[in-house]
Structure 1
Amino acid sequence: MLLLIGSFLGFMVIGVPVAIAMFVASGLYLLVYGIAPDIIIAQRMIAGVESFPLLAVPFFILAGNLMNIAGVTGRIYAFAVALVGWMKGGLAQVNIIGSVIFSGMSGTALADAAGIGTIEIKAMRDHGYPVEAAVGVTAASATLGPIFPPSLPFVIYGMMANVSIGALFMAGIVPGVVMTLLMMITVAIMAYRKGWGSDAPFEVRKLFAASLEIVVVLAVPLSIWLLTLTGLSLNLSVGVALLALIAVDWYFDFSAVMALMTPVILIGGMTMGWFTPTEAAVAAVIWSLFLGLVRYRSMTFRGLAKASFDTIETTASVLFIVTAASVFAWLLTVSQAAQLLSDAILAVTDNPWMFLLLVNILVLIVGCFLDTIAAITIIVPILLPIALRLGIDPVHFGLIITLNLMIGLLHPPLGMVLFVLSRVAKLSVERTTIAILPWLIPLFVALFVITFVPAVTLWLPTQMGLIR
């Protein structure tokens, strides 16, 4: 155990990338102790990615990239300005609402930060906000990406924990709403203390138009339900509702109705059993292509090629981490390291609430040093069996792990959102870190609520019959 974990940490300290550090540490362990043939590394790497749920990873990444090049992020931003830009601290509120909407398409915190976050930081700076305030609220709102469905960390966790990914997606909705409200309250308090005003005039016409877009989107599932009551088949009802939506959108030329429909289509399709969460990722790509090529006509073939190559690059890095982590996690089990760590934790406490408190502390620290995907693949095989022994629901546990790791993305030394925003805002890492610190308060409050009030997470998937 000392060789395996010690060499991994040693490589990390000298700056070796996480995936390579895990891969080399695993190879050294097998070379020194000879517990299995060298070919086992290749076999475990293949087994780590030979999974149907992992097909969702490249498709969700591609959907997010397509939304960016199709100009959907700009439409979402304009919609959010019309909806909440008139409030005090308006653009900070816009930042949060925009991230909520974009999270229903991207599934990752980095996509949020690098995509719509770039637009939001520039707008806030142009309106006179301190750059630290723009960076702080953008970082905090980016954590919403993997909490609202769809979510790449949920896909990886569901695969590792053998838990329904659909249940995880539904479980993230109420916690995401809680986080959104806490962040908006934080903005209101900061606006009052710092004297921030509104950033867009209060115009009944624009607010009505934005509200009408929400009504139109919500009317789609309602109209499907009403049509089925008249005796139409479900498939025909959906077809009629979508055709009516397209016609209304084309006639009124709404700013963001079709973009707002993305999470509705994904969640509705999974709820009605049309497609699995993995197939939902393909549906997200098809919808993104429809928006970019047909509805908005803003997508060029050059942009499409760029999005495809960016997806290949990102997918390769994510799946390489998964393969290396699968070997490392297997060796943690074979070397009895996982069992020793499990026994050590249970020796400290067998109280589920105290265990969750310890998990929060541990995963917050781990999240500062490890990539989210690598952290999930290493932590879950160790901690989930303990959670199950203590009667903790694995879906609830997945939300806790994911939110902790999202907070870790905002911290040095390896917080990726921290580095992305530092580059976007042209701030030093130190100044970016200080700018983010006040926004940890609503995130920690949300973490406390989600950890110790399981109903916040489990109520919706239980009502939908996804868990018992």
Structure 2
Amino acid sequence: MTVAILFGSFFLLMLIGVPIALSLGLASLVTMVFATDSSPNVIIQKAFTSLDSFPLMAIPFFILAGVLMSHGGISRRLLNLATVLIGFITGGLAMVTVLASMFFAAISGSGPATVAAIGSFMIPSMKEQKYNSGFAAAITASAGSIGVLIPPSIPFVMYGVVGTVSIGSMFLAGIIPGIILGLALMIVSFIIAKKNGYKGTGEVPTFKDVLKALNEAKLALLIPVIILGGIYAGIFSPTESAAVASIYALLIGVFVYKELSWKAVYESFSSAALTNAATVIIIGFSISFAYLMTRERIPVIVADFIVSISDSPIVIILIINLFLLIVGMFIDTISAIVILTPILLPVVTNIGIDPIHFGIILVMNLAIGFVTPPLGVNLFVASTVGKVSFETIVKAMIPILITMLFALLVVIYFPPLSTGLPNLLAP
């Protein structure tokens, strides 16, 4: 009865359009009142005390760093570098979008932020070059999903906190899967461009052109080096690295590139504060929801059910992946990580899967949820910045989505792609 009330009220509230944070909180409240003898005050207490966490302080700083970078000329320089490197190839603009998203992912930590920063430039450019508008927006939305894989990554911070896994190790683990996803999207872009006759710029870069573009973008490219290098050199923690990234982005945008006015600085801080406020509410109520599940032994029940279906690790991981893909269609990434990590992590560790590898699997599945209706946050962002209808984007997503699923399978069944770098470099 408790489980039925908890999940029934949650999905009912979502179906009638209640924001997910409020759906989580209200579902927990209804369950507390009607199915338990606990005080409803526990919901607020858990939501509040869960935010008293030093690692979680990384999230607002990474959000701020991403906003400052998108306004301070950094995203434009990364785009210029990507254009010089691969813009001349067939389907060059689509491939530039993917490569630039990989660069920006390494400094923003957010999928939607990557779509907004890169899409505002690239979707209009592709439309001008006669690219199909649906494909232009779809490849931009898909490339934005890389933003949660290549470090720094806000979902990796959440997974590290909830699953008590090293955030620094998660950052390292996301590099190769992020590159694999990016290469897969470039390949499908090339195939679609070849089929539809989408030309590149036709201007093969000289060595001098590449050096010039690298020189202009060098300060932007230093950001992931500073973040990861500082963490693994023991200079600062992952949380402190987020603060360093914010200060670096501010100084570069204001005093070096001089494209970040003080008015833009104020607007960046304001935008980051609003985004963080919404994120914090989601985190707080998600943890209250997860607490209630744990109290009612739901993780144990789900784990026993999954294991009862099959004792084959391959079958179990396939079931979990199908479940995660479905969840990603309806629930935002942070909420899903907070709720599902306590349920699924014990299951996968019992069948011999490394917690770091599972973290990559979890986040990569939910990243695909960014471009899967009905939630599809990246699709809505691409639709807005590119002025393309949602339906048009969804139609163009089919071959791209199949490619993303193939990349996911490669990462799932070759664990060293995730665990290799942490095992090699982690202290």
TM range (shorter): over 0.9
Structure 2 match to 1:147: 149
Equivalent in 384, 389, 414 of residue 428 of structure 1: 389
Equivalent in 185, 195, 198 of residue 196 of structure 1: 198
State TM-score, norm by structure 1: 0.88
- The 5 Å alignment of 1:130-141 reads 130-141=132-143
Equivalent in 351, 355, 367 of residue 328 of structure 2: 367
Distance 1:337 1:204 in 2: 60
Distance 2:378 2:134 in 1: 14
Deviation of 1:13 after TM superposition, in Å, equals: 1.1
State TM-score, norm by structure 2: 0.97
Structure 2 match to 1:354: 315
Distance 2:194 2:117 in 1: 29
Structure 2 match to 1:260: 221
- The 5 Å alignment of 1:168-317 reads 168-205=170-207, 207-209=209-211, 213=214, 254-317=215-278
Structure 1 match to 2:131: 129
**Is the Cα contact below 8 Å between 1:90 and 1:200 reproduced in 2?**
no
Distance 1:12 1:91 in 2: 38
**Is the Cα contact below 8 Å between 1:3 and 1:29 reproduced in 2?**
yes
Secondary structure class of the residue paired with 1:104: helix
Counterpart AA for 1:139: A
Deviation of 1:200 after TM superposition, in Å, equals: 4.6
Deviation of 1:426 after TM superposition, in Å, equals: 2.1
Distance 2:152 2:406 in 1: 23
**Is the Cα contact below 8 Å between 1:82 and 1:206 reproduced in 2?**
no
Distance 2:31 2:407 in 1: 40
Equivalent in 29, 32, 35 of residue 30 of structure 1: 32
Secondary structure class of the residue paired with 2:147: coil
Structure 1 match to 2:161: 159
Q: Does 1:399 align with 2:360?
A: yes
Distance 1:128 1:427 in 2: 14
Structure 2 match to 1:109: 111
Counterpart AA for 2:126: M
Counterpart AA for 1:347: S
Equivalent in 77, 91, 94 of residue 75 of structure 1: 77
Equivalent in 374, 392, 411 of residue 450 of structure 1: 411
Distance 1:36 1:278 in 2: 35
Structure 1 match to 2:61: 59
Task: Render the CA deviation track for 1:310-358: whole Å, top value 9, x for unaligned.
Answer: 1111001111001111111111111222222111111102322211111
**Is the Cα contact below 8 Å between 2:130 and 2:198 reproduced in 1?**
no
Distance 1:208 1:379 in 2: 45
Distance 1:25 1:81 in 2: 48
Distance 1:187 1:154 in 2: 28
Deviates more, 1:407-416 or 1:143-152: 407-416
**Is the Cα contact below 8 Å between 2:138 and 2:379 reproduced in 1?**
no
Deviation of 1:292 after TM superposition, in Å, equals: 0.8
Counterpart AA for 1:46: F
Deviation of 1:205 after TM superposition, in Å, equals: 4.9
Distance 1:166 1:141 in 2: 23
Counterpart AA for 1:12: M
- Of structures 1 and 2, the larger Rg is shown by 1
Deviation of 1:40 after TM superposition, in Å, equals: 1.1
CA RMSD of aligned residues (A): 1.3
Counterpart AA for 1:153: P
Distance 1:44 1:389 in 2: 28
Distance 2:361 2:260 in 1: 38
Distance 1:114 1:465 in 2: 33
- How many residue pairs get aligned? The number is 425
Deviation of 1:80 after TM superposition, in Å, equals: 1.1
Secondary structure class of the residue paired with 1:411: coil
Distance 1:308 1:379 in 2: 31
Counterpart AA for 2:277: A
Q: For structure 1, list consecutive stretches of 5 or more residues without a partner in the other structure.
A: 214-253
Deviation of 1:452 after TM superposition, in Å, equals: 0.8
**Is the Cα contact below 8 Å between 1:137 and 1:439 reproduced in 2?**
yes
Equivalent in 365, 368, 372 of residue 411 of structure 1: 372
Counterpart AA for 2:361: I
